[in-house]
């Protein structure tokens, strides 16, 4: 992202997918509305290369560099100084992705950002949520199952009364099978088999995570993705900006039947799209039908939302300096993750709350941003997750459980930071022989130290699991962090535990702590 950010303004988004490289230039107005100005699309075939051979070929890199140069000129043509350039599944999985990104940066001065799977799901989820609310859906009152079918991966999420409780991303996309098997080897029954097992796995996930998820109270089933939108179009629905349509199981069957009798050339002409997108319709339909069968729902809601629009919405939030609307969902997913491992949620929340109070009081000492504040909060919630395995060394168990979990909205890097902060909430502080810590860049190591130091003290303050710090007030006086618990509480145990845990705070920030 670059440039000044004061609407009205021209902005742009470059989006490198498995099969195409696209640029959209849009006009953003003061009232947050936007309208497309230009939309460029060029075909690239890195999906096939990466999914079958693991790397982006030299020819493709050259081609992408040359297209990027064109796009760069196009951005200048409209005076666009603020844009975002993102890459999704194919680049994400390419073994030579660092070299590739560097080539792009050197050749065209465009910094391409690789979207994490969870980040992509978060953006699409938020866009869908906005779309549903705009279309009058009572988001808070329903349980909603989201299925995002993009070319290289599939995201599934479940909300309960407006809160996200489960989100997973599977490395199984609407087009991926074609790419991995190749057109010639593709046979529908083989494909069906894979989808069946995939749909069942989702259903098992849902059952495991949602105790109230049962076949009598079907969730609202919402699905996004190019293949899904094209299926809706083939069923005769029109998807204009901000709209949504309902696609019945019957219609899905009809579409499947219709496309099986048509050549991809005929469909390309009918739908006005490119060949590789047509190929995603059939797998998308199969996937939706299987999901309908497994979950017992009889219709799919298809909102007019794509990854690109989702990113544009995110850019608008960034331009207008909005709070991250996903924070609540991140927290609720983290709580759900903790509960999955039988965490004491009340304790986790208490530690997290206290940690925030200390964090806020110590602003001038740590100079960390809002996002780090959120990471600290999540570390508070999740720090004891490792107890699920064993109390002994549970900080280490927390580390690998968290670092191997997904929380939508958190990047891989952020997940790792949370895992490490939890890792250091007790026992030894970071050392040079801790490889997982040492693999971090310097600035991230500092973040881990600062947050872990605060978390240690916060955890000590709720050692009794009695939430005594509920009304605590934290402030800095000279070089002393004063924590006033309020009321006439017996804090002898807390003092004792704090004494054991305060060293890291002292050594990291050079301050003392007083508990009253």
Binding residues (CB under 8 A) for another protein: these are: 6-10, 27, 36-43, 70-71, 73-74, 76-79, 268-269, 271-274
Contact 482, 476 (CB under 8 A): yes
Strands 512-515 and 480-484: parallel
Nearer to another protein (CB atom), residue 25 or residue 349: 25
> Could you please report the per-residue DSSP string of 3-34?
S---SSEEEEEEEE-SSEEEEEEEEE-TTS-E
CA-nearest of 1, 336, 358, 14 to 157 is 336
Nearer to another protein (CB atom), residue 69 or residue 463: 69
CA-nearest of 379, 446, 373 to 419 is 379
Question: Residue 427: how many CB atoms within 10 A of its CB?
Answer: 12
CA-nearest of 258, 194, 202, 196 to 230 is 258
3-state helix, strand, coil in the chain (%, to 5): 50, 15, 30
Contact 467, 499 (CB under 8 A): no
Nearer to another protein (CB atom), residue 70 or residue 293: 70
Nearer to another protein (CB atom), residue 53 or residue 109: 109
Q: How far is the CB of 4 from another protein (least distance, A)?
A: 9
Strands 82-87 and 163-170: unpaired
Q: How far is the CB of 45 from another protein (least distance, A)?
A: 14
Nearer to another protein (CB atom), residue 76 or residue 499: 76
Nearer to another protein (CB atom), residue 73 or residue 187: 73
Q: How far is the CB of 151 from another protein (least distance, A)?
A: 18
Nearer to another protein (CB atom), residue 2 or residue 27: 27
Which ranges in 407-489 belong to alpha helices (H)?
412-423, 435-438, 442-461
Q: How far is the CB of 260 from another protein (least distance, A)?
A: 22
Query: What whole-number distance in Å separates Cα of residue 51 and Cα of residue 507?
Result: 48
Nearer to another protein (CB atom), residue 36 or residue 236: 36
With 0-12 / 13-18 / 19 or more C-beta atoms within 10 angstroms meaning exposed / middle / buried, residue 64 is buried
Structure tokens at 247: 């696609």
CA-nearest of 416, 420, 395, 396 to 407 is 416
Nearer to another protein (CB atom), residue 8 or residue 188: 8
Q: How far is the CB of 124 from another protein (least distance, A)?
A: 24
Q: How far is the CB of 323 from another protein (least distance, A)?
A: 24
- For 224, which DSSP code? E
Q: How far is the CB of 457 from another protein (least distance, A)?
A: 48
Q: How far is the CB of 243 from another protein (least distance, A)?
A: 18
Q: How far is the CB of 317 from another protein (least distance, A)?
A: 18
Contact 491, 372 (CB under 8 A): no
Strands (E) located in 45-130: 82-87, 113-114
Nearer to another protein (CB atom), residue 227 or residue 408: 227
Strands 20-28 and 163-170: unpaired
Q: How far is the CB of 38 from another protein (least distance, A)?
A: 5
Q: Calculate Rg over the CA atoms of the chain.
A: 25
Contact 409, 119 (CB under 8 A): yes
Q: Please, what is the angle between helix 370-382 and helix 412-423, to 10°?
A: 50
Structure tokens at 243: 């709209």
Q: Which residues contact 377 (CB under 8 A, 6 or more apart)?
A: 331, 352, 355, 356
Nearer to another protein (CB atom), residue 43 or residue 95: 43
Q: How far is the CB of 70 from another protein (least distance, A)?
A: 5
Q: How far is the CB of 246 from another protein (least distance, A)?
A: 25
Nearer to another protein (CB atom), residue 268 or residue 411: 268
């Amino acid at each position: 992202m670059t440039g000044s950010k004061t609407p009205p303004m021209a902005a742009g988004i470059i989006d490198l997918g498995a099969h195409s490289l696209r640029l959209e230039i849009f006009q953003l107005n003061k009232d947050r509305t936007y309208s497309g100005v230009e939309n460029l699309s060029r075909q690239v075939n890195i999906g096939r290369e990466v999914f079958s051979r693991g790397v982006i070929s030299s020819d493709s890199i050259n081609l992408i560099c040359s297209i990027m140069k064109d796009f760069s000129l196009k951005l200048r043509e409209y005076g666009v100084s603020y844009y975002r350039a993102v890459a999704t599944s194919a680049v994400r999985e390419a073994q030579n992705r660092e070299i590739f990104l560097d080539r792009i940066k050197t050749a065209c001065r465009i910094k391409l950002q690789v979207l994490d799977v969870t980040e992509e799901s978060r953006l699409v989820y938020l866009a869908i949520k906005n779309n549903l609310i705009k279309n009058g859906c009572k988001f808070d009152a329903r349980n909603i199952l989201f299925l995002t079918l993009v070319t290289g991966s599939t995201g599934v999420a479940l909300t309960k009364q407006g809160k996200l409780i489960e989100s997973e991303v599977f490395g199984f996309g609407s087009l991926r099978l074609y790419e991995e098997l190749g057109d010639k080897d593709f046979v529908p029954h083989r494909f069906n088999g894979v989808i069946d097992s995939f749909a069942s796995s989702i259903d098992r996930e849902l059952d495991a995570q949602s105790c109230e998820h049962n076949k009598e109270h079907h969730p609202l089933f919402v699905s996004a993705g190019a293949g899904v939108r094209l299926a809706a179009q083939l069923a005769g629905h029109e998807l204009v900006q901000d709209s949504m349509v309902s696609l019945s199981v019957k219609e899905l069957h009809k579409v499947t039947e219709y496309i099986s009798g048509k050549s991809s050339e005929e469909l390309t002409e009918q739908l006005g799209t490119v060949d590789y997108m047509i190929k995603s319709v059939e797998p998308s339909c199969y996937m939706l039908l299987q999901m309908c069968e497994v979950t017992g729902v009889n219709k799919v809601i298809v909102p007019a939302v794509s990854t690109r629009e989702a990113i544009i919405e995110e850019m608008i939030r960034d331009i207008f300096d909005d709070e991250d609307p996903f924070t609540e969902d991140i927290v609720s997913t983290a709580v759900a993750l903790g509960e999955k491992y039988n965490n004491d949620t009340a304790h986790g929340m208490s530690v997290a709350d206290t940690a925030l109070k200390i964090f806020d009081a110590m602003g001038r000492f740590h100079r960390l941003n809002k996002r780090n504040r959120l990471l600290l909060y999540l570390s508070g919630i999740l720090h004891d997750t490792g107890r699920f395995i064993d109390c002994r060394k549970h900080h280490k168990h927390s580390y690998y459980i968290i670092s191997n979990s997904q929380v939508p909205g958190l990047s891989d890097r952020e997940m790792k930071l949370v895992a490490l902060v939890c890792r250091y909430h007790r026992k030894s502080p970071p050392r040079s022989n801790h490889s997982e810590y040492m693999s971090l860049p310097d600035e991230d190591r500092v973040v881990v130290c600062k947050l872990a130091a605060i978390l240690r003290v916060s955890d000590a303050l709720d050692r009794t699991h009695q939430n005594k710090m509920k009304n605590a007030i934290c402030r800095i006086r000279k070089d002393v962090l004063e924590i006033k618990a309020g009321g006439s509480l017996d804090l002898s145990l807390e003092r004792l535990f704090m004494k054991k845990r305060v060293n890291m705070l002292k050594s990291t920030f050079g301050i003392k702590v007083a508990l009253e």
